[in-house]
Structure 1
Amino acid sequence: MKVYFVGAGPGDPELITVKGRRLLEEADVVIYAGSLVNPEILKYARPEARLYNSASLTLEEVLAIIREAVSEGKRVVRLHTGDPSLYGAIQEQMDALESLGIPYEIVPGVSSFAAAAAAVKREFTLPGVSQTVILTRRTGRTPVPAGENLPDLSRHRASLCLFLSSRDLEAATAELALGYGNETPAAVVYKASWPEERVIYGTLGNIAAKSREAGIERTALLLVGDFLSGPYRRSCLYNPNFSHGYRKGEKSGG
């Protein structure tokens, strides 16, 4: 019996993938990240399914539940928030399952960074502005490798989404301003795609204070970059003068 790591999406129950929902509906055992997964998504599970909140469990306890369920021939879904490949701590789980000889599959999900872009109605990759997106976090109890600290990353001036740093916004924005500058547009998106979603707009110089005044201390993403406002170039893809494999461009000039 295979174990499925399923991305639950950013919060809106309808943003789980079709495959993810089907697997959740078929599961006998669901182990979900209770601190982040919207409980509304659990309504897709069958009434008789066994549900385990992993928020208070250790890796060893999660593995014990999986081993027992698999030995009983049960279908197991390990439900993670967003997309499990981002800050999901799934590699250690997958490595453990491989050592136990338990097959598994990963079902991608919609990440909260995508939901945050939808909330602010902006595109991360604008021609002439930025063609790179940095997804990162500030160092904390989990350190970041050398060269990945915020001052170093800020010098790229790429579109940036900062995870897991809501409580350190003052320090984070000060570090990012070293490369971006204080006037760079910024936004804090609280609980992207949830019913209580909120968006705070500002600059790197004032977004931390605005977020604090709004009472936002957790479950929020910081977006930084010129993609949030200002001019950009029209894309070549839909330009009538641009030729590609599916369309011949029109000739310009007299």
Structure 2
Amino acid sequence: MAENINPVLFVGAGPGDPDLITLKGKKALEEAQRVIYAGSLVNPDILRHCREGIALFDSAGLTLEETVAIMAEGVQKGEKVVRLHTGDPSVYGAIQEQMQCLEEKGITYGVIPGVSSVFAAAAAVKKEFTLPEVSQTLILTRLAGRTPVPEKEDLALLAQHQASMAIFLSVQDIGEVVATLRKGYPPNTPVAVVYRASWPDQHILEGTLETIENQVKEAGIRKHAQILVGDFLRDQGTRSKLYDPEFTHEYRQGRS
């Protein structure tokens, strides 16, 4: 595949369960000679896919410049380098700035996607984000914090759509999240908070915008959690057209 010619690969490790890394991501780790991983987030069990004795670097305490320097050093030595990110690296992975630095150094790279925690959370609660006549839109967002959010993407504005929503990196401010969401969603809107989706200590809280704040505070959840919001958590929706015996499509003639 094309990414095999790149000396640096950004790899999505998945949400936590080491078996949820993709086959392509696993192969990249098996072939890597240097791995820089996000130690504060990536399950260390995933590193078992690496060959014994290779250079491993935990980026939790590193700056952007230090991380890129480690990647560049590996490339200069002719090594295959993997930059291992949690979930899918394209969602809150801060990879764009790393890729830009590599481009400035003339280093080519590839990206291998991973399973995001948002989808592991949906799997944990056994729900579908996109139900016919309930919601056909999923909003992935976060509350503004030390990292700002563009004004046009303010959570109160997004809540006006009443679409299915998954909120990253915000559970520590659950009170503010709830107060803001209630500017758009009815107070009885169902909410699920999934702590460490797919990990052995996964924990699920289910309530509404009226109850979830107290539940989260009582559980002491301050990080590593997805906040899922919307009627998809309660409603079943209508039957899909795709499998309706009356519906004709490219692969099947309906009965009507």
1:120-170 deviations in whole A, cap 9, x for unaligned? 000000000000000000000000001111110000000000000010001
Provide the rounded CA distance (Å) in 2 between the counterparts of 1:227 and 1:121. Answer: 11
Matching of residue 81 in structure 1 with residue 86 in structure 2:
yes
* Alignment check: 8 A CA contact 1:11 1:192 kept: yes
Q: 2:41 aligns with which of 27, 36, 42?
A: 36
Q: 1:15 aligns with which of 10, 17, 20?
A: 20
Give secondary structure in 2 for the equivalent of 1:180.
coil
Q: 1:169 aligns with which of 174, 178, 184?
A: 174
| Alignment match, 2:151 | 146
Provide the rounded CA distance (Å) in 2 between the counterparts of 1:86 and 1:22. Answer: 22
Q: 2:136 aligns with which of 111, 128, 131?
A: 131
* Alignment check: 8 A CA contact 2:131 2:236 kept: no
- Shift, 1:177, TM fit: 1.1
- Shift, 1:231, TM fit: 4.0
Matching of residue 102 in structure 1 with residue 107 in structure 2:
yes
Provide the rounded CA distance (Å) in 2 between the counterparts of 1:23 and 1:201. Answer: 37
Provide the rounded CA distance (Å) in 1 between the counterparts of 2:225 and 2:171. Answer: 6
Aligned counterparts, 1:1-254, within 5 A: 2-251=7-256
* Alignment check: 8 A CA contact 1:137 1:162 kept: yes
| Alignment match, 2:3 | none
Provide the rounded CA distance (Å) in 2 between the counterparts of 1:63 and 1:218. Answer: 27
| Larger deviation, residues 44-53 vs 126-135 | 44-53
Provide the rounded CA distance (Å) in 1 between the counterparts of 2:69 and 2:105. Answer: 11
Provide the rounded CA distance (Å) in 2 between the counterparts of 1:218 and 1:59. Answer: 23
1:166-225 deviations in whole A, cap 9, x for unaligned? 100010011001101211000000000001001000001111110111121110010000
Q: Which runs of 4+ in 1 moved over 3 A?
A: none
* Alignment check: 8 A CA contact 2:42 2:85 kept: yes
Give the TM-score normalised by the residue count of structure 1: 0.98
Provide the rounded CA distance (Å) in 2 between the counterparts of 1:210 and 1:98. Answer: 46
Give secondary structure in 1 for the equivalent of 2:206.
strand
Output the amino acid matched with 1:37: V
Output the amino acid matched with 1:126: L
Provide the rounded CA distance (Å) in 2 between the counterparts of 1:67 and 1:187. Answer: 42
Provide the rounded CA distance (Å) in 2 between the counterparts of 1:182 and 1:30. Answer: 46
Count of aligned pairs: 251
- Shift, 1:27, TM fit: 0.6
- Shift, 1:230, TM fit: 2.2
Q: What residue ranges of structure 2 are gaps of 5+ in the alignment? A: 1-5
Provide the rounded CA distance (Å) in 2 between the counterparts of 1:16 and 1:51. Answer: 18
